[in-house]
Structures are given as structure tokens and as C-alpha cells.
Amino acid sequence: MNIPFPSQVTQNEALFDWVAGKVALCQPDSVHWCDGSDAEYQMLAQRMVESGTIEPLNPELRPNSFLAHSDPRDVARVEEQTFICSKRPVDAGPTNNWRDPKTTKSHLLGLFDGCMKGRTMYVVPFCLGPLDSRIARIGVEVTDSPYVALSMRLTTRCGHDVLRPLGQSENFVRCVHSLGLPLEEGQADVSWPCNPEERIIAHFPDTRQIWSFGSGYGGNALLAKKCFALRVASVMARDEGWMAEHMLILGITNPQGKKKYFAAAFPSACGKTNLAMMTPNLPGWKVECVGDDIAWLRVKADGRLYAVNPEFGFFGVAPGTSSQTNPAAIGTLKRDVVFTNVARTPEGDVWWEGLTDKKPPHLTDWRGQDWTPEGGTPAAHPNARFTARASQCPVIDPAYDDPRGVPISAILFGGRRPSTIPLVYQARSWAHGTFIGSTIASETTAAASGQVGQIRRDPMAMLPFCGYHMGDYFAHWLDIPESTTPDKMPRLFGVNWFRRAADGSFLWPGFGDNARVLKWIFERTDGQADALETPIGWVPTELDLSKLNVSDEDMDQLMTVDTEEWRREAASIREFYTRFGEHLPAELRAELDELDRRLAAS
């Protein structure tokens, strides 16, 4: 096959040779080099409309927007089929699925042999991080999915612009993706091609490669996202002395015009996107979004920790998003959006659970079937998604694409805990904050588990995304301050918006009122707000509760540090830490021992 090559923008022989090798392996009918243009976006969309993969929405209601319905077997990330193929099992650690790299590569070569017959191979050069940033990294994904190519245009900096900073370098992450469903001559295609029976997502951190087969959905197929920006990037960050984290980044400005930037790590279903785009319920305060999901951080020459958002768009969960919970997200979705697995209204717009208080009387659900409220089934899949450019967000921070990044003053760790964890508390030191981050968790309910208080720990919200041994990852966190002085590092905090009263109701209103917590954190980083020392850290003596209807009793419970509950928490942490064996840093064992000592003395 004569392989087209954008010679007018690059002469990178390593890139051409790599693509040529994948063409020979996958045997597509044609090759398209993505240039990232608006015309290309329309071409890809039209191609998928014709194949039935997407359908256009009403242009008067949702201009230049589309709706995709995936195969019901291909609706979310598949952690059980996701592997870290490091040289040794110990390098992957106890939190990852490990496979031998040689055996896995042999298996993959068999799967990919001829896998793109009857299809087009799209070559997508992309950059994670602002193009001219020191921390930015480049990847190239080859894929036979136009849905992936179009989505990558919305979520990353991609196309010909990326080839300029790449130059002649061989230093790019090689990403190979296929739907795994070749077409014989004359064979009819399906609207959402995939191959769930052969699905595998394999990461080779030592050689900076990612191979994905059989899925066309989200984090399984958009290899720039969790696969590169977290799993492989975490290994790169360890080797190069920076941090790749599952964190939002927000800018917060007080009424006097002083601005700071915070990062925050929350497990799923803990309000990360809502916090990143918050509309504060405090007069004069403003929150702006730098990123809602991933942060890359590096200590710069001035000794401060700076962060960039490696992504360029949002791939967010739709259900639960509304003008009440996240008006900025709703504002982002007015046009130029690809929705996946939401419902369609008779007028040609979209709907999902939580979008409106009242359910529509009739919809076409995410499976393409007629739907009414009386049917008892969800109209949108619980993991339904929207994909849109970050620049469309009405509260996007002016520095969201700044190659210098933004200086981080505070890092927040939070989980969904109905008890034990107070609304907010401050770590005593970077090591203590690392200890807090390594132990964050969400609790199950009795209905789900048969036992109240069963917890699932998700250290730094990175449990599914750390590409190497998590004990060594903790050690990397502890090493970061060595390149600067403690006074220049961010202050670390734990937060918990989800504490419940005895009747099961939430004690804290959350959403825009979380700005009251951010205000206290803002002032603590300036050494201004008062705090009370407790065995677990410092808690506020008071928050700004102006015009907020929360009783004194509820506030007391929100801030309570119950010694008996925390003794049980410490015992649970000690058991959890055994997973990491000798890889657990001694500093974290010491922090746990100190917590036990303070609890015994209280």
C-alpha cells in the first residue's frame, strides 16, 4: 500500500517507519493522517452518520452535536482486562493486573494481524499538555475507529500542530488501537463495531507503548486519557522527577482579587467535576476550571509545585449533571458536543437522569428503544458521557493552556464517607498529607454490602491508574519535596462532603457551599484562618456560614473527630498497608504509628 505521509509538516522517519509497520500488521484498506482541522471533524462526523455510529442532534437546539449509541457490551472501562506488562510482576505491584510482556506482545501480534481489513486506519498525533510546555509529552495513536479520531480531536491537542514540536524525535508514546472487527469484501458493518470476547488493554511502561483491542469505548480506546496520561505517564513521572495525578485543578479568587490554585484527588462519584466548575455560594468569590480530571505537576526553578492539565477537553459523566449541580458543565454542552449513551428527546435533543426534576413523558433510550417513565429502566446508561472542548466551559481559567502551568497552593484528598472523616482537616506536613492521600476511601452501605462501614480504599484516587507498584508510588510522593523547601510546597488537606446524620441525610449541602471550605483552605495557606489541633490534624474552629441553614449541632458532627471511630480507622489502614509489604515507605508506617500514639493520648 502507498501510505500517505504529511511530508509538508514533518520528515520524522521514526514516525513514518512505525506507522508503516502498523499498516503492514493491521492491513487497513486506507490510511488517513489526522490534521485536527474543522473540515476533518465534519468529515469524520459525516462518515459515522452514514454508518449509523452517530446521529446528528437538532441543530437549532444543539448545534454541530451528535449522539452515539454503543454496543451494550461496550459501555465502560474494563479493569479486569487491563494489564501492566512490566518486565517483572513486582514492578506492577499488588494493585495492577500483570502479564508477561513477551507473551502478551506475541498474543497482541496475533490479534492485530489483519484486524483493520475493510477499514481506514486513522493516524492521530497528539500532545498531552500545552504544546510548548516543558512538561508536555507527545503520543501517536493509530486506530480504525472514526469515533476515537473525532473524540481525540475534542479532548487533546492533536493533528499537524503536534508534529512541529515532535520534530525528528523518536520520543513519542506509541498507541495502537483496533475495534477488532475486520470486514471481508462485501461484508456489512455494524453501527458500533467491537469485539468484547477478545478485549484487552495492555500497557508496556518500559517501552512506552499501549495496545488496545476489541473496545471502542472511552478509556479503553481513547488511549491519550487514562492509559497514557496516568498509567504510562506515572512511570515517566517517576523516572523523570515529576507527578502524573488523577486530580482536578481549579483557580479560586477571593473578593479582594487574590488568586490561588488548588488540585484535588477524589475517587469516582465524589464530585470532582462539580468542584472543578463550582459556582460559589459566597459573594465575591470566584472559581475557574483549569482541568476536571488529570494534573501533571513539577517543581519549577522558584521551588513551587506547578500543574498543567494534559487534556484539552472533557470526557465527563452525564447522569446527575444539571443546571443545579453543575451549571458550568451545562453551559459547556450547548454546542459542538459528542454525547454517548444518553437518551434522545422527540425534538432531537438529549436527556439523562438528573438533567431535569421532571422526567419527560417519552424518549428514545440509550439502546435506541422507546422509553417512558413507567417502564422502570434508566433512559441513559449510568456511565453515559459527553465529550467537549474545554474552551467552551463558561468558567474556564485563562491559564488552562498556559505552558508555564499554574502554581499549586493546596492539594485536597476526599472520599465518600458517611462517618469518621470530618468535613475538612489539614495535614501536619507533606509526609502526613501523603499518608492522608494514601488512605482515602469510600464506604459502602448496608444494602450494598450487608455491613455498614465497609470501605474501599483508593489511594490518591489512583488505584486503577498507577502504572507501577503503588508502594513505590507513595515513596515517589515523599521524594518530591527534596527538590525544594517545605515552605514552598502546597499545603495538604482531607475533605469529606458526604458525612451523614443518623437518619441518613447529608449533614453538609455540598456543591456551591463547598466554597466555604475552600475559603478556609485559601486562608490557611496564608496563615490566617484559625484551627484546632486534633489527633488527625487541624480542623477549623469556624467556617463562613453566612446565609447557610446548617445547625450548630450538625456543624459539630461535621467537625467531630471521634477517637473510637479513628482507632478503628487506624486499624483498617494498618491492614490495608500490608498489601504493599516491604515497598511501603517507612515514613508512612511512622505516620500511622504516630496517629495511634496521638489517639491513645487523647
Rounded distance, CA 480 to CA 237, Å? 11
Rounded distance, CA 289 to CA 389, Å? 13
Pairing of strands 338-340, 313-317: unpaired
| Pure H helices in 167-232 | 218-221
- Closest by Cα among 103, 107, 112, 119 to 22: 112
Rounded distance, CA 97 to CA 294, Å? 22
**Residue 343 · residue 355 · CB < 8 Å:** no
- Closest by Cα among 205, 201, 298, 304 to 244: 298
What is the H or E stretch that residue 181 is in?
A: none
Rounded distance, CA 473 to CA 306, Å? 19
Rounded distance, CA 259 to CA 468, Å? 35
Cα-based distances in Å from 602 to 423, 433, 573:
20, 21, 19
Rounded distance, CA 537 to CA 69, Å? 48
**Residue 157 · residue 310 · CB < 8 Å:** no
- The residue with cell 461535621 is 558
- Closest by Cα among 298, 300, 291 to 238: 298
State the cell numbers at 32. Answer: 488517513
Pairing of strands 286-291, 248-253: antiparallel
Q: Quick one: DSSP state of residue 98?
A: B
Beta bridge mates, 448:
none
What DSSP string describes 64-83?
T-EEE---TT--S--GGGEE
- Closest by Cα among 372, 365, 367, 368 to 351: 365
Catalytic residue check, 227: no
Q: Quick one: DSSP state of residue 29?
A: S
**Strand, coil or helix: 139:** strand
Beta bridge mates, 406:
307
User: How many contiguous H segments (helices) and E segments (strands) does the chain have?
Assistant: 17, 30
Q: Which of 85, 115, 127, 270 is catalytic?
A: 270
Cα-based distances in Å from 379 to 352, 359, 370, 371:
6, 10, 9, 7
**Residue 382 · residue 316 · CB < 8 Å:** no
Active-site amino acid positions: 270
